[in-house]
Amino acid sequence: MMRAFVEGVGLVGPGLRGWAQCRSVLAGNEPYCPAPTAVATSELLPAAERRRTGMPVKLALAAGLEAFAGAGRDAAGVATVFASSGGDCDNVHLVCEALAAPERQVSPTRFHNSVHNAAAGYWSIATRSRAASTSLCCYDASVAAGLLDAASQIAVEGEPVALVVYDHPYPEPLNAVRPLGASFGAALVLTPRATARAIAALDVVFVPQKAEAARMDDPGLEALRAGVPAARVLPLLAALARGSPETVILEYVAGTHLRVAVTPCA
Amino acid sequence: MQPLAISRYSIVNCLGAGSRAVADAIRGRRSGLVPCDFETVALDTYIGRVPGLEEARVRPDLGAYDCRNNRLAQLGLDADDFAGAVTGARKRYGAQRMGVFVGTSTSGILEAELAYRRRDPQSGALPPGFRYAETQNTFSLADFVRRYLALEGPACVVSSACSSTAKVFGNAARMIATGVCDAAVVGGVDTLCLTTLYGFHSLELTSRGPCRPFDAERDGISIGEGAGFALLERMPAATGAAVALLGIGESSDAYHMSTPHPEGLGAKLAMERALASAGLGPSDIDYVHLHGTGTRTNDAAEDRAVSDLFDAVTPCSSTKGATGHLLGAAGITEAIICMLAIGRDLMPGSANTRSVDPALKCNYLVANREARVRRALSNSFGFGGSNCSLVLGAPA
Amino acid sequence: MDRQLSHLHRAATHPYLKAGFYSWQFARGKLRYDPVFVMLLRRGLLPGHGRLLDVGCGQGLLLSLLIAAGEQYRSGDWPRDWPAPPLNLDLHGLDLRPDRVRAARRALEGRARIELRDAREAEFPRCTAIVMLDLMHYLREEQQDRLLEKAAAALDPRGVLLLREADAGAGLAFEVTRLSERVAAAARGDFGPMRYRSARRWAAALEGLGLSVTAQPMSQGTPFANVLFTARKSLRNQDETADRRR
Say which DSSP state B325 is in.
Answer: B
- Bond from prior residue into A173 cis (ω within 30 degrees of 0): yes
Look at B298 and B262; give whichever has higher pLDDT: B298
- Relative to beta strand B183-190, strand B226-234 is antiparallel
Give the closest residue to B68 by CA, choosing from B27, B128, B109, B123.
Answer: B109
Q: Tell me, what's the pLDDT at C186?
A: 81
The band of C221, judged by pLDDT with boundaries at 50, 70 and 90, is: low
Q: Which residues contact B242 (CB under 8 A, 6 or more apart)?
A: B342, B343, B394
N-term to C-term CA, chain C: 31
Domains in chain C, CATH or no CATH each: 2-235 (3.40.50.150)
| Mean pLDDT, range B354-379, rounded to an integer | 97
Look up the ipTM and state it. 0.96
pLDDT tens sequence across A190-215:
999 999 999 999 999 999 999 999 99
pTM above 0.90, yes or no: yes
| Mean pLDDT, range C126-152, rounded to an integer | 93
Q: Tell me, what's the pLDDT at A14?
A: 96
Between A and B, how many residue pairs show a Cβ–Cβ distance under 8 A? 211
d(CA A47, CA A62): 16
Say which DSSP state A85 is in.
Answer: S
**Considering chain B, what is the average pLDDT of its residues?**
95
Give the closest residue to A58 by CA, choosing from A80, A45, A42.
Answer: A42
Q: How far is CA A140 from CA A106, A114, A149, A240, in A?
A: 29, 20, 16, 22
Indicate whether C86 pLDDT > 90.
Answer: yes
**A55 φ, ψ (degrees, to nearest 5):** -60, -45
N-term to C-term CA, chain A: 22
d(CA B270, CA B380): 9
**A73 φ, ψ (degrees, to nearest 5):** -125, 145
CB-CB contact of C63 with C112 (8 Å)? yes
Contact B251 A130 (CB under 8 A): yes
Please check whether residue B236 touches C, CB under 8 A: yes
Q: Which amino acid is at B64?
A: A
d(CA A148, CA B80): 31
| Number of Cβ within a 10 Å radius of residue A31 | 8
Burial class of residue A47 in the structure, from the number of CB atoms within 10 Å of its CB (0-12 exposed, 13-18 middle, 19+ buried): exposed
To the query of whether residue B181 is one of the catalytic residues in this protein, the response is: no
The band of B390, judged by pLDDT with boundaries at 50, 70 and 90, is: very high
Contact C246 B281 (CB under 8 A): no
Nearest neighbour of A155 by CB, restricted to C84, C239, C244 = C84
The band of B383, judged by pLDDT with boundaries at 50, 70 and 90, is: confident
Q: Which residues contact B79 (CB under 8 A, 6 or more apart)?
A: B10, B11, B12, B17, B18, B19, B227
Q: Tell me, what's the pLDDT at C171?
A: 74
d(CA B211, CA B214): 10
pLDDT tens sequence across B109-118:
999 999 999 9
pLDDT tens sequence across A23-46:
999 999 999 999 999 987 777 777
d(CA C218, CA C133): 11
H runs (alpha helix) in chain B: 19-27, 68-78, 82-93, 109-116, 140-148, 164-177, 194-202, 265-278, 296-310, 320-323, 330-344
Q: Tell me, what's the pLDDT at C242?
A: 37
Per the residue annotation, which of B325, B338, B362, B388 is the catalytic one? Answer: B325
Indicate whether C234 pLDDT > 70.
Answer: no
Please check whether residue B10 touches A, CB under 8 A: no
| Mean pLDDT, range B16-24, rounded to an integer | 98
Contact B254 A145 (CB under 8 A): no
Chain CA centroid to CA C26, Å:
16
Look at C25 and B261; give whichever has higher pLDDT: C25
**B359 φ, ψ (degrees, to nearest 5):** -75, -15
In this complex, the chains that touch A, judged by 3 or more CB pairs closer than 8 A, are B, C
Look at C167 and B11; give whichever has higher pLDDT: B11
| Mean pLDDT, range C51-74, rounded to an integer | 97
d(CA B260, CA B293): 12
Say which DSSP state B213 is in.
Answer: T
- Relative to beta strand C88-95, strand C49-55 is parallel
Q: Tell me, what's the pLDDT at B239?
A: 52
Give the closest residue to B331 by CA, choosing from B370, B383, B371, B389.
Answer: B389
pLDDT tens digits, chain A, 266 residues: what are they? 999 999 999 999 999 999 999 999 999 999 999 999 998 777 777 777 777 788 999 999 999 999 999 999 999 999 999 999 998 899 999 999 999 999 999 999 889 888 899 999 899 989 999 999 999 999 999 999 999 999 999 999 999 999 999 999 999 999 999 999 899 999 999 999 999 999 999 999 999 999 999 999 999 999 999 999 999 999 999 999 999 999 999 999 999 999 999 999 97
To the query of whether residue B193 is one of the catalytic residues in this protein, the response is: no
Domain regions of chain B by residue span:
4-393
To the query of whether residue B162 is one of the catalytic residues in this protein, the response is: yes
d(CA B3, CA B271): 17
The band of C172, judged by pLDDT with boundaries at 50, 70 and 90, is: confident
Domains in chain A, CATH or no CATH each: 2-198+219-243 (3.40.47.10)
Reported for C111-116, long-range contacts at CB under 8 A and 24+ positions apart, including other chains, are C111/B237, C111/C63, C111/C67, C112/C60, C112/C63, C112/C67, C113/B396, C114/C57, C114/C60, C114/C63
CB-CB contact of B373 with B347 (8 Å)? yes
d(CA C86, CA C70): 7
Q: Tell me, what's the pLDDT at A131?
A: 95
d(CA B288, CA B280): 14
What is the SS3 string spanning B240-267?
CCCCEEEEEEEEECCCCCCCCCCCCHHH
Nearest CA-CA distance, residue C41 and chain A, Å: 13
Between B and C, how many residue pairs show a Cβ–Cβ distance under 8 A? 69
Indicate whether B263 pLDDT > 80.
Answer: yes
In this complex, the chains that touch C, judged by 3 or more CB pairs closer than 8 A, are A, B
Nearest neighbour of C110 by CB, restricted to B170, B238, B281 = B238
Select the residue from C89, C90, C94 to test the B interface by mutation, using most B Cβ atoms within 10 A: C90
Per the residue annotation, which of B36, B162, B181, B388 is the catalytic one? Answer: B162
Indicate whether B327 pLDDT > 90.
Answer: yes
B4-393 carries CATH number 3.40.47.10: yes
Q: Tell me, what's the pLDDT at C166?
A: 80
d(CA B212, CA B207): 9
